[in-house]
Structure 1
Amino acid sequence: SITCEVPEFQPLPKTHQAIGIDLGITDFAILSDGRKVDNQRFTAKMEQKLKREQRKLSRRYEQAKKDNRVLRDCMNYQKQRRKVARLREKVAFWREDFLHKLTTAFIRQYDVICVEDLNTKGMLKNHKLAKAISDVSWSSFVQKRMYKAKWYGRTIVKTNRFFPSSQLCHVCGHHDGKKALEIREWTCSSCHTTLDRDINASRNILAEGLRLFEATQP
C-alpha cells in the first residue's frame, strides 16, 4: 500500500463553448457540430487472432485433461494461457488509451458537455447489440468524462433517458414520431429539412442540455 500526496487539479480556462454528444455503435460519438468520432472496434480487430489462440489453448487443455496432468505443471498450456491474456490486455490498453485521449479533448475544449443518460445495463440485455456495446465501452467513457469534468471545473449535463432526441426536428422542433433503427436519414414533415438521424439527435441533446443547465443557474 502506497500513500502519496498529489497537487490539486486546477480548473481549466473558460472556453465559452458547449457541445451535445450522441453515443452510437457505427460511430462512437456524434457531435452537435456535425463531427463524428469513428468507432475503433478494438475487439473486432483482434477477434480472428484471439479465436485462433483460444482454440490452441482449448486443445492444450483437453490434452492435459486426457493425460491426467495438473494444469499448473503443463508448460505448453501455461505459455498459451499467458499469450491469450496478453492479447486481451492489448485490446484493453488500446481502448483505455482511446477513451482517455477523447475525454481529455472534450474536457479541454468545452465548458458544458450535454449527453444522454443512457440505460447501458438495460441495452446490454439486447443480445444482438450486447457485444458491440461492450466493445465501445460507453460506461467507461461516461465515468472518465465525469471525474475529469469534476477535476477541471467543467459541467456535464445529462438529459432524461426518455427525451425523444431522435424524434424531434432540431430546426423547427416538430415531433415526427419513433423511427426504426435502420432509418439513418429522414425529412421533417413540417419544415421539410433533411436530417441525419445521429447529428439531429446530438443537436437536440445540446439544446435540451443547455435548457437544463440554464435552469440551474442563479
Structure 2
Amino acid sequence: MKVAQAYRFALDPTPAQATALASHCGAARFAFNWGLALVKDALDQRAAEQSSEVPEELLTEVPWSLYALRRAWNATKGRIAPWWADNSKEAYNTGLDALARALKNWAASRNGSRKGNPVGFPRFKSKHRAALSCRFTTGTIRVEADRRHVTLPRLGTIRTAESTRKLARHLERGTGRILSATIRFEGGRWFVAFTCQIDRDDRALAQPNAVVGVDLGVRALAVLSTGETVDNPKHHRAALRRLRRLSKELARRAGPRTPDGSSREASKRWHKTKVHLGKTHARVAGRRRDGLHQLTTRLAATYGTVVVEDLDVAGMLANRRLARAVADVGMAEVRRQLACKTVWRGGRLVVADRWYPSSKTCSGCGAVKAKLALSERTYACTACGLVLDRDENAARNLAALAAGYEHDVAQSCGETVNARGAGVRPADGGRSAEKRELPPGERSRRKSWAA
C-alpha cells in the first residue's frame, strides 16, 4: 500500500551552512512579498482602468497563478534582486507558490467554493515574525549512506543531529521514494522534513477484530473502553513557571519596538532571551508530540477499529477557564494521527457524531440522562443502577457505536479530517475582520477578482 509519509530530522549545520539555510528562507520571503506587491499594484491599476471605462479586453492582467508569477519573476529578477543566483531557484519558487496558494484560497473562500473558516487576503511577511521555511522539489535531494548526512540543492551535504536510518531503510529496500524536502528553523534548531512515498507492508494487527472506544479528556489524556487510563502528562503546565519567567524577562529587554511603536535595533540580551523562550516552547511541543505518537501508534497497531468523538476543539478553546488545559492535550492531533495510522495498519477509524450523547448514555441499559454536569465524574444510572467512571462509560458507548456505524473517515492522509467539509459560515456572511475593515474601493476591487 502506497502512502504519503514525512520523515523529520534535526540538522547540525556548520555556521556557514546555517547562514546559507537562513538565506534560502529569506529569499522565499522576499519572493512572496515581491509577488504580493505586484498583485496589489495590478489590482489597483485594473480598478483605475475599470473606473475609466476601459474595455474588458484591454484591462491589465493580474498575475494570479503560479505560472504567471514565475514568468514575471524571471523577467525582472536580474533588476530587483541581482543577488538571486546566490540561492537555489527552489527558494524563490517556494515564496511564489505560497502566494499563489494563498490567493487561490482567498478567492475560493470569497465565492463560497471553499468550506471552513473564511480566509483573509494575503499579507506581507515580516522579517522578524515570519517562519523560516523553504521547500525543495527538484535537484539533488538524498539521504547519504552513512545515515548521518543529507544532501540538498545548493546547500550541499549537511550533517544531521540524529540517525536517518528509518528513512534510509526504505530507500535501500526500494520501498520509499523522496518527493520533496522542506527545511525549517524552529525552537533554535534547523530541521529537514522529507515528504516520501512509502510502500507500507506492516499491516498486521494484534487484534484485527477488536474495537476500542477512546474518550479524550483533560484530567486523563485518554480513557479506553477496555478500562485502561492514559495519564495526561500536562507538559505545558509543568513548564509554565519557566515560560512565565522568560516572558517577563523578554518584556524587560530592549526589543525591536519602542513603547511608542517605532522600530529600533533589539539588544543582544533580548535576542538571547527570545532564543531561550523559543527553545522552551519547542521542548514542550516536542514532548507532547512524542507522547501522542506513542499513543496513536499503539492504538492503530493493536485494534482493528478505533472510535473517537468529533470534538468541537475550537469551541472548547473559547472557554478561557479551560483553554490552556485543552490546548495542552492536543485532541485534534490525536484524531489526525489516527486517521493516517489506522489506514497504514489496515484498520479503520470511526468518528462519532458531534452531538452523540456518549457521556449521558448508560453503557449498560442505554438510558439517556437529560443533564449531566461536568463536575459529575461518576456516572450513576437510575434505570439499571450502573455506577461507572464517567469517561469509561463514554468510551464504552463509543465502542458499541462502531457496530452499526458505517461512516469511515480514515480513507487517506490528506484533508479528510479538517474543516474543508464541515465548516460553518459565520453570521457576517463569511467575511473576515480584515475584509470588514477594508475601504469600499479596495473591497469592491478585490471582490471583482475573487468572483
- What's the TM-score once normalised by structure 2's chain length? 0.45
Unaligned runs of 5+ in 2: 1-135, 142-177, 179-195, 409-451
Deviation at 1:80, TM superposition (A): 0.9
The 5 Å alignment of 1:49-198 reads: 49-61=242-254, 65=258, 70-72=264-266, 74-198=267-391
Change (3 A) 1:63 1:23: closer
Q: Secondary structure at the match of 2:253?
A: helix
Deviation at 1:89, TM superposition (A): 0.7
Answer with 114-123 or 43-52: which moved more.
114-123
Unaligned runs of 5+ in 1: none
User: In the alignment, which residue of structure 2 is the partner of 1:13?
Assistant: 204
CA–CA separation in structure 2 for the residues paired with 1:21 and 1:158:
10
The structure with more strand, counted as a fraction of residues: 2
Change (3 A) 1:186 1:144: closer
Mapped contact 1:71–1:77 kept (Cα < 8 A): no
Deviation at 1:155, TM superposition (A): 0.3
CA–CA separation in structure 2 for the residues paired with 1:69 and 1:172:
66
Q: Secondary structure at the match of 1:71?
A: coil
The structure with more helix, counted as a fraction of residues: 1
Mapped contact 1:114–1:210 kept (Cα < 8 A): no
Find the partner of 1:33 among 217, 226, 231: 226
Q: What do you get for the CA RMSD once the two structures are aligned?
A: 2.3
Deviation at 1:186, TM superposition (A): 3.1
Percentage of matched positions with identical amino acids: 31
Mapped contact 1:185–1:196 kept (Cα < 8 A): yes
Deviation at 1:104, TM superposition (A): 0.4
Deviation at 1:87, TM superposition (A): 0.5
Change (3 A) 1:63 1:55: farther
Deviation at 1:69, TM superposition (A): 8.6
CA–CA separation in structure 1 for the residues paired with 2:198 and 2:334:
24
When Rg is computed on C-alpha atoms for both structures, the one with the higher figure is: 2
- What's the TM-score once normalised by structure 1's chain length? 0.90
Q: Which has the higher contact order (CA 8 A, sep 6+)?
A: 1
